[in-house]
Amino acid sequence: MVTRRFTQRYILALALVASLTIVGQVLVQRQLRDQTADSYLVNFAGKQRYQSQQIVKDALLMTRSDGLADGQNTAANLQRVLSRWERYHKELKTGQLTDLHLVVQNSKAIQTLFAQLDPDFNAISQAAHQLLLTQASNSQRRQLRIILNHDISFLDRMDTIVRQYEREAEAKIDRLHSMEQTLMVITLFVLLLEALLIFQPAVRTLRETVRQLTLSEYQTRLINEDLQRSYQSINQAQTQLMREANLRYQQQLHEQRIRLSSVVQGQEDERKRLSRELHDGIGQMLTGLKLLAENIRSAGNLSEKDQLTFTSLKSLLIRTIQETRNVSNNLMPPVLGDFGLVSALRQLTEQQSKQSGTLVTFRTSLSNERFGQPVEIGLYRIVQEAVNNAIKHAGAAEIDIYLEQRHDRLFLRIADDGCGIGSEPRRSTAQGLHNMRERARLLDGTFRLTTRPDRCATGLHQSGKVRSRLIRLGTAQATTLRPGTRVLVCVPILEPSVYNVATLAPQAKTFAH
């Protein structure tokens, strides 16, 4: 309530001061305009005196008979000055100054003086016009005497009018001074009331408030000290809890990664075992069966139908042996463990090109360097999955694989010209992408996939400190991307690269775009 009352009083006082200031400015501005108009009026009146003297001079020159003046030029000058003199007189009398775009209200005293001036003005005007019209010297002298007789009276009355204009202007200034003094007194009175009714009570209230605040501050400081001690103990407990929670979280992540790595390693071991059993067991038996079939010498004695059946049997055995070899090689190619990642990828691209008819190219800046077994197996499986997806699901006609080493990281790029991946991929395709992403994450690497623009979907999957996100592309952005699907994988080299013992490569090259 006290604050509201002080606020209302303060607003009222400010409104009064502002109103007085605005009124004073309006009066000053109006007086300045009036003063400017009065100055123009005095200037016009002064020009009238000058022009009347110019008329007298031109009239004297026209009546001279000694030939010193040019009659035509003098007459033209008299006509021009006379016209302007008459117009100025009319404008001063009516208060409408057309040249200055001003309208002035003449006082009654000014109107009376102009009424007294009119006979002299009319006499001089008529005599000047007659002087311009007549050529007779007697008539010109008569008109000249009329002009000279009325000119002195005209000048005296014009002086009176000018002095009247000046007195009226001084009276306006005096009134303005009086109003300014009155406004100043009222403003000072309002400020005094404001100091007595607003500021002085406000100071007392503020002093009491400060005293109470000081007391409250002292009490608050005591409470804060107690709270600070409690907060420190709580903070220590919270820090301990956060540390333990972080350790448990890191342990869970580590255990989860170990389990996932163990699952992947178990899968690879099972693939290797199955591959070895297929190659050493079923593959060898099928090869022996093929040799036995080829060594049958009595096949020529069979009937034509049985010979066709026997030929089909041998073809089936050959295809079965080849398919067994392909399955064994896909499970775990021996070249990956014997010769390394580069040789395994070359073999994979050649086999896929022959089997599917798709042009699969492999380019690399590496020779036959060897890396850690997890890195080689992980990258090989990523390439294998990406190529299979591009051939089976995207219908790609060309697939380009590029592998390079930059410092301590391996960069793998797989690009195809297929139909891309939609916003809702098939279950098999989604599972394959998940497997590739998990393998890259297990290697502490990044996995990035960009797909065809017209599908309007681009996925980015990264591990570690890098964010995971899904980008929806518009039409304008989609037109700038290359058609098809592009996979980019970057993994750190966990183990230093070594020479391939089987090929004895002389050195490992590093290549960058």
Is the predicted pLDDT of residue 292 greater than 50, yes or no? yes
**Residue 372: per-residue pLDDT:** 81
Using pLDDT thresholds of 50, 70 and 90, give the confidence band for residue 508.
very low
Place of tokens 């390693």: 265
Query: With contact defined as beta carbons under 8 Å apart, do 481 and 452 qualify?
Result: yes
Is the predicted pLDDT of residue 422 greater than 80, yes or no? no
Please count the other Cβ atoms lying within 10 Å of the Cβ belonging to residue 184: 12
How does the average pLDDT of the chain come out, rounded?
Answer: 77
Using pLDDT thresholds of 50, 70 and 90, give the confidence band for residue 479.
very low
- Interval 85-137: pLDDT, tens: 888 888 888 877 777 677 777 888 888 888 888 898 888 888 888 888 887 77
- Interval 3-41: pLDDT, tens: 677 677 778 777 877 887 887 777 777 766 666 666 777
Is the predicted pLDDT of residue 80 greater than 70, yes or no? yes
**Residue 283: per-residue pLDDT:** 64
**Residue 362: per-residue pLDDT:** 93
Query: With contact defined as beta carbons under 8 Å apart, do 453 and 478 qualify?
Result: yes
Using pLDDT thresholds of 50, 70 and 90, give the confidence band for residue 469.
very low
| Whole-number Å distance between alpha carbons of 94 and 101 | 13
Place of tokens 């009226």: 168
| Whole-number Å distance between alpha carbons of 373 and 495 | 9
**Which amino acid is located at 13 in the chain?**
A
pTM over 0.85: no
Using pLDDT thresholds of 50, 70 and 90, give the confidence band for residue 448.
very high
First to last CA, the chain: 76
Range 384-402 average pLDDT: 88
Range 47-74 average pLDDT: 74
**Residue 401: per-residue pLDDT:** 94
- Interval 371-380: pLDDT, tens: 888 888 888 8
| Whole-number Å distance between alpha carbons of 230 and 219 | 17
Element (H, E) at 253: helix 200-277
Please name the residues in contact with 278: beta carbons below 8 A apart, sequence gap of 6 or more. Answer: 324, 327, 328, 331
Using pLDDT thresholds of 50, 70 and 90, give the confidence band for residue 150.
confident
- pLDDT above 70: percentage of residues in the chain: 74
Range 330-344 average pLDDT: 79
Distance of CA 383 to the CA centre of its chain: 42
> Which CB contacts under 8 angstroms, 24+ apart, belong to 94-98?
97/40, 97/41, 97/44
Please name the residues in contact with 65: beta carbons below 8 A apart, sequence gap of 6 or more. Answer: 137
Element (H, E) at 252: helix 200-277
Complete DSSP assignment for 339-405: H-HHHHHHHHHHHHHHHH--EEEEEES--S-B--HHHHHHHHHHHHHHHHHHHHTS--SEEEEEEEE
Is the predicted pLDDT of residue 510 greater than 50, yes or no? no
> DSSP secondary-structure letter at 485?
-
- Interval 165-179: pLDDT, tens: 888 888 888 888 888
**Residue 460: per-residue pLDDT:** 42
- pLDDT above 90: percentage of residues in the chain: 7
Is the predicted pLDDT of residue 480 greater than 70, yes or no? no
**Residue 453: per-residue pLDDT:** 52
